[in-house]
Structure 1
């Protein structure tokens, strides 16, 4: 398993030098400054590769850009409106340019409007560390009393509506502002950050788009880009919904194994694959992560290894980002399944036998608390997580995995 690290570019407060000291073997990055739907030019890709290949003092880093996360899919493509056909053609051009640059793994997602949703980006733990959290009552308070989404009251039962009303009434104005900003924060480093009015507009435009229709739009997109990716030797891998449940009345189509199976079986090419994110999928108690790795391992092109602690047994509930070997996902069993998949790939002679993974997210600890890096992407917290994951891999490779 190839150890990689997410890097947001020259403005990232965690430097390439830091990643080397963490002992990583490759970098996960993207051109966050390029508008969604635009072409990733050869020049921009080459510039990012040079930045990754160079330490602060100009010394070669010895590491390369191995995984793109993400080459974003525009809202126009997801809704099949506006410039969606042009955006698909631009996506194809970008894929060609990435292939020319030698980058083979392309992560993307198909989440409507918001790429991920949390209600707290720095929730304090008993030991003084902070982490990201999704609190369902806070989210309901946002949806009902800040966004004022039409029909929102139908998405929450009486008890939750009452709890949200009480929570909102007790919130100071500063917390209300912070909550609104946090929910619409979007993907770290993303080119798009929405205002509340823009969120309202985008959400309203999905009123006529059902889960089945959104899935059809994803299949249409993949039917266009996957054959090209296959020809170019690229591996596309869709990230799951985060959280993996419907929010804001929006359809969710990549939240469960069954939903992945529907898309993978319809566009049945090896280039059409999975970013198996143990944190996103692990927020649902009915997702079996080790089992999914066993059943769909041949199509898993990228692994996000993180853990969450669910605060209820409900499908939709509150959760927080736990330590990598804590939480509700059996990380040892998941890694064991991934190592077995690698052994199968080696036996088959697959060139892509080594599955890239990164320690996803992490709690802010020690000097992270003052660094204020991208939310969810601390330096020391991820280093701790990577060390723990590395230890599990080393232990399993001593003969426990056959």
Structure 2
């Protein structure tokens, strides 16, 4: 597998020199200053690629080209934003980047309630507390009909938790969940967030799924013509938040997406953390079924808790058998090589990492994207990959 690293551009406190020190060779990046759905100028794309090349690295994957909300809800400017998305695909391809990871999550992108949850190791992890989230949803923002999203038992837990939360704790949860984490497409205050939810008030899973399929029928032919592989990232977390539909959460969802435009240009980003948050997702089985259309892998591990909460665990610990996952992905690489596919090597990146050692207390740290935690994760994953490649019988 090709070892890659997410880099947020020149403002990223983790420099390209740090990336090289970690041993990664490919960069995963985007023009994060252009998040309004407008086309990426060719000059800006070329400039980003030149910076990466000058550091002795290659820009392998774009993550992500934002999908404007009008595309997701079929708003009045849908056609214009799709045309601009196509132009951005063309600009990226002209610069030589041929893999584009994107997502189709409505209103909120990836969500955590705690960005610095103290671990027994004395490091810090990202965590999603299901009870905190319900307390915020039902008793803080007072979303219309929010109680219908939860069981009676969860509502009682949420009410009790709400009574215990200080003003500072509520502000922290709100900041983490709706104000925007790294690389999220939209940022809100409470009033604008409640307004954004109204766009999806009457939208079902099937409705949002149909809008995605319509979008794919527009953009996949452009990608196919240019030799670009699109790969959708799963929902994070892979279940409904704020009553919103989530349509990239299960094997059934992935199956439907791949069938909607049945070509290699329409593929998956296999995020073990997102899919692995659901116990009903068989990750190895999904790799075996969808492997030919997996164009990119995010390798991270989460520890599922009985109440629906989870936290980011060590890369080789948690609820996912990471060694089995890596073995399955390398098995897919072998199958591709035997079939003569040019894309026989699957790019991966260590996704999220604990806040550790000298990174603790630094002013400029992107939550989940500190240097030392990801370096540790990559080193552990590299050891697994080398061992599997050398010693595991793969057929």
Maintained 8 Å contact 2:316/2:380? yes
Alpha-carbon separation, structure 2, partners of 1:185 and 1:369 = 22
Alpha-carbon separation, structure 2, partners of 1:179 and 1:303 = 29
Query: Could you give the per-residue CA deviations for residues 146-196 of structure 1, whole angstroms, max 9, x where no partner exists?
Result: 211001011112221122112111111111111101111435134531222
Q: Indicate whether 1:205 and 2:196 are aligned.
A: no
State the Cα distance separating 1:144 from its structure 2 match. Answer: 1.0
Q: Structure 2: where are the runs of 5+ without partners?
A: none
State the Cα distance separating 1:95 from its structure 2 match. Answer: 0.6
Query: Could you give the per-residue CA deviations for residues 88-107 of structure 1, whole angstroms, max 9, x where no partner exists?
Result: 00000011111110000000
363-372 or 137-146, larger mean C-alpha shift = 363-372
61-70 or 302-311, larger mean C-alpha shift = 61-70
Partner of 1:117: 111
Maintained 8 Å contact 1:211/1:253? yes
Q: Indicate whether 1:375 and 2:367 are aligned.
A: yes
Alpha-carbon separation, structure 2, partners of 1:244 and 1:191 = 18
Q: Give aligned pairs, total.
A: 393
Alpha-carbon separation, structure 2, partners of 1:263 and 1:270 = 12
Q: Indicate whether 1:140 and 2:154 are aligned.
A: no
Q: Indicate whether 1:222 and 2:213 are aligned.
A: no
Alpha-carbon separation, structure 2, partners of 1:238 and 1:232 = 18
Q: Indicate whether 1:100 and 2:91 are aligned.
A: no
Partner of 1:332: 323
State the Cα distance separating 1:53 from its structure 2 match. Answer: 2.7
TM-score of the pair, normalised by structure 1 = 0.96
SS of equivalent to 2:391 = coil
Alpha-carbon separation, structure 2, partners of 1:186 and 1:82 = 25
Partner of 1:390: 382
SS of equivalent to 1:370 = coil
Partner of 2:81: 87
What is the 5 A alignment of 1:204-283? 204-283=198-277
9-18 or 160-169, larger mean C-alpha shift = 160-169
Maintained 8 Å contact 1:303/1:357? yes
Q: Indicate whether 1:358 and 2:358 are aligned.
A: no
Alpha-carbon separation, structure 1, partners of 2:36 and 2:289 = 33
Q: Indicate whether 1:178 and 2:169 are aligned.
A: no
Alpha-carbon separation, structure 2, partners of 1:189 and 1:319 = 21
SS of equivalent to 1:384 = helix
Query: Could you give the per-residue CA deviations for residues 343-383 of structure 1, whole angstroms, max 9, x where no partner exists?
Result: 11111111111111000001111112123411111100000
Alpha-carbon separation, structure 2, partners of 1:278 and 1:41 = 33
Alpha-carbon separation, structure 2, partners of 1:323 and 1:186 = 24
What is the 5 A alignment of 1:337-348? 337-348=328-339
Maintained 8 Å contact 1:67/1:104? yes
State the Cα distance separating 1:220 from its structure 2 match. Answer: 0.3
TM-score of the pair, normalised by structure 2 = 0.97
SS of equivalent to 2:270 = strand
Alpha-carbon separation, structure 1, partners of 2:222 and 2:82 = 12
Partner of 1:44: 44
Q: Structure 1: where are the runs of 5+ without partners?
A: 55-60
Partner of 1:302: 296
Query: Could you give the per-residue CA deviations for residues 227-250 of structure 1, whole angstroms, max 9, x where no partner exists?
Result: 110110000000001110111110
Alpha-carbon separation, structure 2, partners of 1:330 and 1:36 = 38
The alignment yields a C-alpha RMSD, in angstroms, of: 1.1
